[in-house]
Amino acid sequence: MSRFAAPIAEQIWDMKYRFKQADGTPIDLTVEDSWRRIARDLAKVEKDPTHWEQVFYEALEDFKYLPAGRITAGAGTARQVTLFNCFVMGTIPDSMGGIFEMLKEAALTMQQGGGIGYDFSTIRPRGADVKGVAADASGPLSFMDVWDAMCRTIMSAGSRRGAMMATMRCDHPDIEQFIAAKSDPARLRMFNMSVLVTDAFMEAVKADGPWELQFDGKIYHTVQARDLWNRIMQATYDYAEPGVIFIDRINAANNLNYVETIAATNPCGEQPLPPYGACLLGSINLARLVKNPFEAGAKLDPEALHQLVATAVRMMDNVVDASKFPLPEQAAEARNKRRIGLGVTGLADALLMLGLRYGSDEAAKQTGDWLHAIARAAYLASVDLAREKGAFPLFDAGKYLASGNMMQMDEDVREAIRTHGIRNALLTSIAPTGTISLYAGNVSSGIEPVFAYAYTRKVLQKDGSRTEEEVVDYAVQMWRDKFGDTPLPDYFVNAQTLAPADHVRMQAAAQKWIDSSISKTINCPEDISFDEFKDVYMLAWDLGCKGCTTYRPNEVTGSVLTVSESADTAPGERANAPHGTESGDVIYMSEPLDRPEHLEGNTYKIKWPDSEHALYITINDIIVAGRRRPFEVFINSKNMEHFAWTVALTRMISAVFRRGGDISFVVEELKAVFDPRGGAWVKGKYIPSILAAIGGVIEQHLIAIGFLEGEGMGLKTDPQAQVVNGDQPRGKACPSCGQFDMVMIEGCMTCRSCGHSKCG
């Protein structure tokens, strides 16, 4: 009998986490093989690996403990990959040589698949003097453009899309340009961006006082703090960025504030990290630990939770020793502090099983109680590890116990640390869990509310027919299994029907017992007023959150699938559809289409300047569901220097074409590749590389056959313009599977159909 609770869970495992040979032949024949592979690898560093392998396997079994995707996919494969998800890079020096050395380090880290965070506050502002060269500085935004181009280039060479976080202090002279940068939709698209907001700034905002913008002791401008705050609010109201990070609060609450200062986070914000810090993530699946769900005696099993947390801490501590690192500085940082980020997923489902409404006072209190129990169990487990294996190298009992979250920790835990030390400096964090939540049976993600109770994926088969596959939230499916078609109770709420204040209340309740931070998205209705929107951020500040990220659907950010209410349905449920089912006329080919014997196409010639031989590009098309779309591409040239990469490129592009969906992202990524040796002027237009030229040819072909609307534009027949329910538009197209099912979850655009995530 399959361990998977839903077909999509097995598909996610097969696509993302199943160990396979280079030709795609599976090595992990079952998910049990995957669990065994991970358990065996992480037990290797133990004195009794056989014993701990079985303990680790039992924790992984039935998706109770979910290591982050990098661990699940990489552990035990013997591949030269890092098991850490994200990194904050070194402090950027304010010099040309130092800046480009940091760029190189970023490229090396991203080449291994790590997301990165950077603080650009250390670069002098635009227009500042550059001594010795009689020039003015170009400012941090110009160098962020270089990072953005690097990320696109690295991404074009690998299967994982790049993820970066850029931060800037609220008192940097270029902060206004930083705030407005995302108003240009084509600029800095590989970055998430957040403003580092200080306590002093928030006090000035509340007092409507002046605020000095300065660098290296020099005051460049003085503005009104409230005006600058309103600029931040307007930008995120209009296009969802920048986020806000309360940086002084983060440093004050840091257990390691006696040896480090934090100025940046990983791409989703749940891990504020020092220079060269790395985030090691994993989640306890609370939905799997509830006894007697939906009954009067429903409760989360405290003994099972304590034991599972202890095992998870041990596994994560072993990852520090088992993992490889892109840079030696990252390895040293990880091993000196051994910080881990143990979090949760399935929180909203677990609350539903107890009959609690997400966002209510009772749910907030229960959330706090559960996370307090997790924090206690994690710290005590780390103390036991310190007794067995030693404390983290930079441990100083007096300074540690007087720092950060340790000041509020239970006294018996503090005494145990004082006596025995602690293995891991920081232990808790709540990360985005979109993909692993799908893998675990579509449990609710992280501490987010249930996004939708159910929705329908339409899968295109080889013969052109379509089959429908319902994807149901884990708790909703459990309710159906118990009670059949009985309507959902009124405490079932989802992300679209909750008031923003309910989101903030839950984030604040969770934050109290979280060492690091929380990745959480506060969904706001499109018609929320600007003043109400600003109140969300001020509430987050007042309730003690470490940061705030909102998502308000609009023409710039894109819309998300929503679920309407009616008198005949439970809150959040769609009329005339079972349990809030959503549907969309979207296409995803579960297997590549077979090639017909004859195809129609066109051949195009590219004559690249300074190249002896031209490139000839042939694109053949196929008719699917009455619509012409590209099926394969061939690139030919007499120049043998081009042979290997053109063959590889044609095979990869053709494979993408044959999978279906919106493949216009292929054009977008090719056109973004730049050649460090320089591009060329072709027909009066600058083309940054020969790959960009190929992308332009493919784009023109797609326009000619009616697949794209025009240059730089999306699908000619844009399904986003069609309606799903009443006047509610669809989400954006997924660049991986093509379904219009991209939603904002925990600060990350995530596809609910295939699990693709901007953040990995």
Residues 435 and 496 in one domain: yes
* pLDDT tens-digit readout, 655-711: 888 766 667 778 888 887 877 677 777 777 778 888 888 998 998 898 888 888 777
Residues 49 and 118 in one domain: no
163 in Cβ contact with 759 (< 8 Å): yes
Residues 108 and 64 in one domain: no
Is 268 labeled as catalytic in the residue annotation? yes
Tell whether 672 is covered by a domain: yes
Q: Is the pLDDT of residue 77 over 90?
A: yes
Tell whether 402 is covered by a domain: yes
Residues 248 and 382 in one domain: no
Query: Looking at residue 30, which CATH number applies to its domain?
Result: 3.20.70.20
Residues 316 and 233 in one domain: no
Residues 210 and 314 in one domain: no
Tell whether 724 is covered by a domain: no
Domain count across the chain = 3
- Given 659, 675, 704, the domain boundary residue is 704
- Which of 752, 746, 749, 757 is CA-nearest to residue 271? 746
State the pLDDT at residue 569: 33
**Of 240-254, 658-672, 722-736, which one has max mean pLDDT?**
240-254
* pLDDT tens-digit readout, 166-197: 999 999 999 999 999 988 877 888 899 999 99
417: left (phi over 0), alpha (psi -120 to 50) or beta: alpha
Tell whether 285 is covered by a domain: yes
Tell whether 727 is covered by a domain: no
Identify the weakest region by mean pLDDT among 281-290, 320-329, 365-374.
Answer: 320-329
Query: Please, which pLDDT band fits residue 565 given cuts at 50, 70 and 90?
Result: very low
Write down the catalytic residue from 86, 151, 170, 268.
268
Is 257 labeled as catalytic in the residue annotation? no
Tell whether 541 is covered by a domain: no
Residues 220 and 366 in one domain: no
* pLDDT tens-digit readout, 389-399: 999 999 999 99
Residues 202 and 257 in one domain: yes
Tell whether 320 is covered by a domain: yes
Residues 77 and 95 in one domain: no
- Around Cβ 365, how many Cβ atoms within 10 Å? 12
State the pLDDT at residue 725: 35
Identify the weakest region by mean pLDDT among 268-282, 495-509, 745-759.
Answer: 745-759
Is 270 labeled as catalytic in the residue annotation? yes
Q: Mean pLDDT, to the nearest integer, of 487-515?
A: 93
State the pLDDT at residue 729: 39
- Given 228, 262, 296, the domain boundary residue is 262
Write down the catalytic residue from 270, 333, 573, 746.
270
Residues 257 and 307 in one domain: no
Domain encompassing residue 440: 1-85+280-454+469-523+558-572
- Which of 120, 42, 63, 61 is CA-nearest to residue 88? 120
Q: Which residues pair with 551 in a beta bridge?
A: 523
111: left (phi over 0), alpha (psi -120 to 50) or beta: alpha
Write down the catalytic residue from 251, 266, 285, 725.
266
Which contiguous run of DSSP H or E holds residue 100?
helix 96-111
E strand residue ranges, 508-577: 522-523, 547-548, 550-551
Residues 79 and 92 in one domain: no
Residues 35 and 104 in one domain: no
- Share above pLDDT 70 across residues of the chain, in percent, rounded to a whole number: 84
Greatest alpha-carbon span in the chain: 79
Tell whether 755 is covered by a domain: no
* pLDDT tens-digit readout, 347-368: 999 999 999 999 999 999 999 9
Give Rg (Cα) of the chain: 26
